[in-house]
């Protein structure tokens, strides 16, 4: 009897380990980017007056040579197991490496598009190192306070307020996170890391409108939207968060496209927040794997709608300076 139980236990253990190994293989198998290489924006010429860099997830750097601003500033990228079952905190070495790779020494503002860890966790340290204002929701402010960022470097944004940073005009417009189990909630007191990833509640989500010398760019860092919030807004280019879009219904995707792209009369769409933010950002970006997302379905949808509505669809350069307005026809 004892020998039989040992055999049963050994058999169950083999099955469990096999399932764990299979799941590990699945969540670390990334969709190929080969089909989208022809869509890549080229590196911007050195003389480009306003350079934009996509640094992964929804971290975007805009620099006109005099002033620079950044959304999110997320570089730490804790792994899947730590993010889901452990505690997360800013990785100082990864932040230093990311800022150096991006060529950043000074920023006027760092603007988390909402307060989840993959957007706002590193932002206070980025602000501290670059002299930037940490600009965002009250939840983001409490992340800054938990990191002991001086109050003078923390600014709670007001929706629809036009703010000047050098020649940049930045307006934060109401948005929403894509509908997931992590959507919603606020951070109501200083959040001191290390902390559970789930402690980084969404807070207010924003679509960030950036205007600069006649150019306009909308950064919507999550595949969500506030119905009607962008009416009357105009943007030449939309950096469009598509994380989780492949998991949504056709009706939801259509509504998102209508609200984030068609309502602002965009002429070019550049997908962001499609990369696996659980892996280090040193190498090429890789799409989030199944079952966490369905990147190929998101891209098939974007290709179909952009063709139908005569909007230019292009993939962002990774870490290299790009000119999102390059070659756009006049309105």
Domain ranges across the chain: 44-313
> pLDDT truncated to tens, each residue of the chain (331 aa)?
556 555 545 444 433 333 333 344 445 579 999 999 999 999 999 999 999 999 999 999 999 999 999 999 999 999 998 998 899 999 999 999 999 999 999 999 999 999 999 999 999 999 999 999 999 999 999 999 999 999 999 999 999 999 999 999 999 999 999 988 778 999 999 999 999 999 999 999 999 999 999 999 999 999 999 999 999 999 999 999 999 999 999 999 999 999 999 999 999 999 999 999 999 988 789 999 998 999 999 999 999 999 999 999 999 999 999 999 999 976 6
pTM of the model: 0.91
Q: Rounded to 5, what percent of the chain is helix, strand, coil?
A: 30, 20, 45
Q: Is the bond preceding 291 in cis, omega lying within 30 degrees of 0?
A: yes
Give the Cβ contact number of residue 134 at 10 Å.
Answer: 28
Give the Cβ contact number of residue 52 at 10 Å.
Answer: 25
Pairing mode, strands 168-175 and 205-212: antiparallel
Report d(CA 303, CA 306) in Å as an integer: 5
Report d(CA 124, CA 143) in Å as an integer: 7
CB 213 within 8 A of CB 48: no
Homologous superfamily of domain range 44-313? Ribonuclease Z/Hydroxyacylglutathione hydrolase-like (3.60.15.10)
């Amino acid at each position: 009897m004892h020998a039989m139980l040992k055999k049963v236990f050994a058999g169950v253990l083999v099955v469990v380990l096999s399932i764990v190994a299979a799941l590990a293989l699945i969540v670390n198998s990334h969709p190929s980017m080969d089909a989208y290489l022809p869509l890549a924006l080229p590196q911007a010429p050195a003389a480009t007056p306003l350079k934009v860099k996509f640094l992964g997830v929804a971290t975007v750097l805009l620099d006109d040579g005099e002033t620079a601003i950044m959304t999110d500033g997320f570089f730490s990228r804790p792994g899947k197991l730590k993010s889901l079952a452990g505690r997360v905190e800013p990785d100082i070495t990864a932040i230093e490496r990311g800022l150096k790779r991006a060529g950043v020494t000074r920023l006027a503002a760092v603007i988390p598009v909402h307060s989840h860890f993959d957007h706002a966790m590193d932002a206070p340290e980025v602000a501290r190192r670059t002299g930037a204002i940490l600009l965002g929701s009250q939840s983001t402010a409490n992340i800054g306070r938990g990191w002991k960022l001086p109050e003078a470097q923390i600014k709670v944004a007001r929706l629809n307020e036009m703010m000047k940073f050098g020649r940049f005009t930045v307006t934060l417009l109401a948005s929403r996170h894509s509908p997931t189990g992590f959507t919603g909630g606020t951070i109501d007191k200083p959040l001191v890391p290390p902390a559970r990833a789930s402690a980084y509640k969404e807070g207010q989500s924003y679509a960030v409108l950036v205007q600069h010398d006649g150019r306009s760019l909308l950064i919507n860092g999550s595949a969500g939207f506030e119905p009607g919030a962008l009416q009357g807004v105009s943007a030449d280019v939309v950096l469009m968060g598509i994380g989780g879009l492949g998991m949504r219904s056709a009706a939801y995707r259509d509504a998102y496209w209508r609200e984030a792209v068609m309502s602002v009369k965009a002429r070019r769409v550049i997908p962001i927040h499609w990369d696996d933010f659980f892996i280090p950002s040193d190498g090429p970006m890789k799409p989030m794997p199944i079952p966490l997302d369905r990147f190929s379905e998101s891209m098939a949808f974007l290709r179909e709608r952009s063709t139908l509505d005569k909007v230019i669809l292009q993939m962002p350069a990774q870490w290299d300076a790009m000119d999102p307005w390059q070659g756009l026809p006049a309105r």
